[in-house]
Amino acid sequence: MKILVVDDDKTFRTMVKAVLEEEGYEVTTAENGVEAWEGLQENKVDMAILDVNMPGMDGFQLLRKIRGDNNLKEMPVLMLTIRAFADDQVHGYESGADDYLTKPFANDILLARIKVLARRILKRNGD
Ligand SMILES: [Mg+2]
């Protein structure tokens, strides 16, 4: 299972990548929405973890592009933010996020949420 991690914070990106790889996931990273969008045109992934607050193209803008793309619109997306406001979460779900996690979070919470999304992908693929 391939996961794209998009976050402008290098320390965070590296940490999440390590946590996911430890569990056996294949991980690619991007540091902003533009880089992630370009990467997705070349290499499809099974799901994406998007930081909301990023310079240039932020997580919501990237999510909108993903949901508007025929090849990518079904991809599960988990949004990450440090803003714990209810408004943001509502906005996230309305934009088409499958799940939402507020930073900071425990690694096992992240893995539990990822597992739910992974199960949904496997079910859809009929494995
Ligand atoms: Mg950020």
| pLDDT recorded at residue 104 | 87
Inter-residue contact 76 to 117 (CB < 8 Å)? yes
Give the tens place of pLDDT for each residue, 44-95: 899 999 999 899 999 999 999 999 999 999 999 999 877 666 676 677 677 7
Inter-residue contact 78 to 50 (CB < 8 Å)? yes
Ion ligand 1 nearby residues (CB, 5 A): 8, 51, 53-54
Nearest partner of 100 among 70, 76, 122, judged by Cα: 76
* Domains of the chain listed by start with CATH number: 2-125 (3.40.50.2300)
Average pLDDT over residues 86-109: 82
| Cα 51 to averaged position of ligand 1 atoms, centre (Å) | 6
Structure tokens at 28: 């690619």
**What is the model's pTM?**
0.92
Which segments of the chain does DSSP mark as H helices, in order? 10-22, 33-42, 59-67, 86-94, 107-125
| pLDDT recorded at residue 9 | 96
| pLDDT recorded at residue 91 | 72
Q: Report cis status (omega within 30 of 0) of the bond before 104.
A: yes
